[in-house]
Structure 1
Amino acid sequence: MLKDDRILIAGANGLVGSAIVRKLTDLGYTNILAPTRQQLNLLEQQKVFEFFAAEKPDYVFLAAAKVGGILSNTMLPADFIYQNVMIQTNVIEASYRHQIKKLLFLGSSCIYPKYSLQPIKEEYLLNGALEPTNEPYAIAKICGIKMCHAYNHQYGTNFICVMPTNIYGPNDNFDPTHSHVLPALIRKFHEAKVNGNEFVDIWGSGLPRREFLYVDDLADACVYLLQHYDYRDIDSIVNIGSGTDLSIKQLALKIREVVGFSGDLQFDTSKPDGTPRKLLDVSKMDKLGWRAKTSLEEGIQKTYSWFTSTAY
C-alpha cells in the first residue's frame, strides 16, 4: 500500500475499525476513508455501491459487524445473522465491482466447532457442530469467508480472511447486556468498587478458558498482512491471537486486581458457560512474521484507563 492510496475502513468507529484507523494514521497513510454509520449504512446495498463509485477506494478493511456476548447473541439471533450477512455481502460485492486492489475480511474464532481440538488450527473449520449460543453470528462469518474464497476463485480478486481471537481495548462495548466477557467484567468490577459492593456476580462456572488479544495488536497484524501478503500466500484463512489462554476465573481475578476491587467473586452456574475452550493455533501467523506484543495485564490496564476516562 502506498501512503496516498485510498483506504476504506468499514466499521471505522467500532473497536477494531478505530484501532486500524489509529495504526494507519501512525504509519503516515494520508487518504483514509472512515465513514460513520450515519454517513454510510452498510445494510443498504445501493448506498454502499454509490459510496464505492464516488470514493473509489484502493483497499478495504472489512471490520464492520454486529457483535455481542452470550446474552446478546441469545436474545437477538435474527439480528446477528441478518445484519452480518448483509454488511459483508454488500461490501464484498462492491469491492469486486469496483476492482479494489485488496480486501481484508475480519471473521471470528467462533467460526470453529464447539468441541474443537486445541489449539485450534485453521483447517478445523466446519469439522464439527458450532456453539449454539453464537451459531447465527458464526454462520454469518463463515458465509463471509466462503464468499471471499468464491470471489477469489471465480473473479481473481485478492480478498484475505483473518480469524481473530477475543478482542478488547479502547472503544469496546461495555454495556452490561450486550458486551463480551472482558469489558463486561471491567464494568462490573468498577461499579462494584464505586458502590461498595461485597461481591461481583459472574455468569457461568468460571472454568471455560479464553484467549484475548489487545485491539491495537490486531490492527497491527491486519495492516501488516495487507502490506506484505496476498490471499495466495495465506491459503484460505489465518488465525490471529496471542497464543495463550486462561480461565474466566483467572481473568476475573486479573481484572479485580487492576480495578482495585476488594470483594469476592460469585459464579452463577445457572447461566451458560459457552464453548469450554477456545485457543487458536497461531503458528501460521508466526511463520508470516508477526506476533502479539501486548501482555494481558498491560492491555487490561490500558482498557480500564480508557474506560474510566471516557465512559465516566
Structure 2
Amino acid sequence: MKKIAGWLSFILLVSLFTGCGRQETDDPAYHIYYLNKEKTKVVEQPYDLKEGKTEDMIATLLDALCTNTDSVEYQKPVPGDVTITDWSLESNQLFLYFNDNYSKMQSTDEVLCRAAVVKTLVQLPDVKYVSFYVGDAPLADSRDNVIGLMTEESFVENPGKQINSIQTTTLHLYYANADGNGLVECEKEVQYSSNISLEKLIMENLLKGPDDKNLKAPLPEGTNLVNVTTTNGTCYVTLDEAFLNQNYEIQEPIVIYSIVDSLSEISTISKVQISVNGKTSGVYRDSFALDQLYERNLDYVVSADENETVSTEAQIEETP
C-alpha cells in the first residue's frame, strides 16, 4: 500500500507540472496589433508565429499586417493602397520602405498604422528599433522633422481616442545660467499633442532655449534632434552633427547635464545616453564619452536668485 501511495503521489506531481507547462505554452508568445473597427485605437490579437530565422519571422509579420482579417471587430493596420516595397535589418534596427501612398494617409490613420506596425515587430528579440521611409526619404512629421527610430515607448499607452488631442503639462527644464557654469531649473507649462512623447517634448524645448533673458540655451545653436527613445529605464538621445559645434561660453558638463537632468525628471528614466547621428564613439569635447550612460547629477544646479544676482553684477560691470 505504501508503494502504491508513493506511485500515486509521483503521478499526481507529474500531472501538476505538465499541466503548468501546457498552461505556459497556451499563452501566445506573439501578437498582431490591428485597428479596432472604429479606427480609433490599436488592439492586440494572439498570433501563432513559428520560431525560425529572424528574416522569415519579419516577413511573416509584415504579411499579416497587410492582410485583411476575418473579423468585423478589427482590421489590418496597413491600408490596401499602401505597400511595403522593401525592408532591411541592420544591428537590431529594422528599416521599412513604403510606397508614396503612405504619405496620403490621414494623420490619425497614419499614427495608428505606425503604432500597430512598430508594436508588432519589436516583439522579435532581434528587432529593437523600427524606422519608416516613404520612397527613399525618411518619414517626417507635419513640421518636416524626421521621426527616426521608434520603439514601443514611442507611442502613448492607448493610441486612438487621445491621438492629436491637446494636453497640458509642466516641464522641469535645466538651462545654462548667465555665466555658462551652472544649471537653473525652470518650470514651463506647455500644451502638446498627446502622440508626442514627453522625452521628445523635453528635448524640443531644450533646443528652443529659455524664455528668460538671464539664462542661456545649453545646447549648441543649430543642433537638431534626430530621435529620442526610452528602453528599460535608459533614454537614448540622438542629435545631429551640429551638437559637436563648440560653444565655450557654456561649460561641457552644463551641456551634458542639461539633457540628463531634464530627461531624468521623467520617473521612468534613470540613465541617459547621447549619440551623434546614432554613433557613440569618441567624446564630447574633452572628457564626456558618448558611449557612457549618465545619471542625474544636480551638483551643477544653482538657484534662480543666484543667477539673477550674477547677471545684475555683470550688467553693472559693463556699464561705463
User: Which TM-score tier does this pair reach, normalised by the shorter chain?
Assistant: under 0.3
Q: Compute the TM-score of the two structures, normalised by the length of structure 1.
A: 0.27
Pick the structure with more strand per residue.
Answer: 2
Pick the structure with more helix per residue.
Answer: 1
Structure ID, larger Rg: 2
- Which one scores higher on RCO, CA 8 angstroms, separation ≥ 6? 1
